[in-house]
Structure 1
């Protein structure tokens, strides 16, 4: 009986393709640090505007 050959290069290539897709999915959107930074800037500007309006 003949067995199908096990090609480790093929499975390695498939894994590398999977890993690259998973990494590109993570980097496709904005990072959490960027979102937190934008929210912080908006909050600071809002506090300054409200403070200036109360004077």
Structure 2
């Protein structure tokens, strides 16, 4: 048996290159975050209106 440390998954450099390729770059604003913020603001406005009508 050889004494060489052979990593079957490849080198760290190869893994980093694979990880960078597998994640496509996103362009534009995060739509999910914007929708979430708008929803939270709508709930706050509705709650404020409900409290003022009491």
| TM-score normalised by the chain length of structure 2 | 0.50
Structure 1 alignment gaps of length 5 or more? 1-18
Q: For the aligned residues, what is the CA RMSD?
A: 2.1
- Structure 1 stretches of at least 4 aligned residues deviating more than 3 Å after TM superposition: none
1:31: which partner in 2? 30
Distance 2:30 2:42 in 1: 19
Distance 1:30 1:45 in 2: 23
CA deviations on 1:4-30 (whole Å, 9 max, x unpaired) are xxxxxxxxxxxxxxx8xx825x1xx43
- Which protein is richer in helix relative to its size? 1
| TM-score normalised by the chain length of structure 1 | 0.50
Distance 2:33 2:44 in 1: 17
